[in-house]
Amino acid sequence: MIEMTNLLCLDSNGVLTGKETLAEKLTGRKYPRAADEFRRYSSGGLPLPKGDGVYALARRVAATHKGISRIEMESEAKDFSPTDGARALVRKAKKLGYEVAVISADYAVAAGAVAGALGVPRFYGNIPRFNGDAHSGELVDPIIIGERKAEIARQLKEELQPKKVVAVADSLIDSPMLREADIGIFCGEFSELKRYELRSSSEVPLLQIVK
Using one digit for the tens of pLDDT, what is the confidence trace for 50-81?
767 889 989 999 999 999 999 999 999 999 99
Residues 6+ away with beta carbon under 8 Å from 88: 207
d(CA 174, CA 14): 12
Whole-prediction pTM = 0.87
DSSP SS3 for 139? strand
CB 167 within 8 A of CB 183: yes
pLDDT at 33: 85
pLDDT at 129: 98
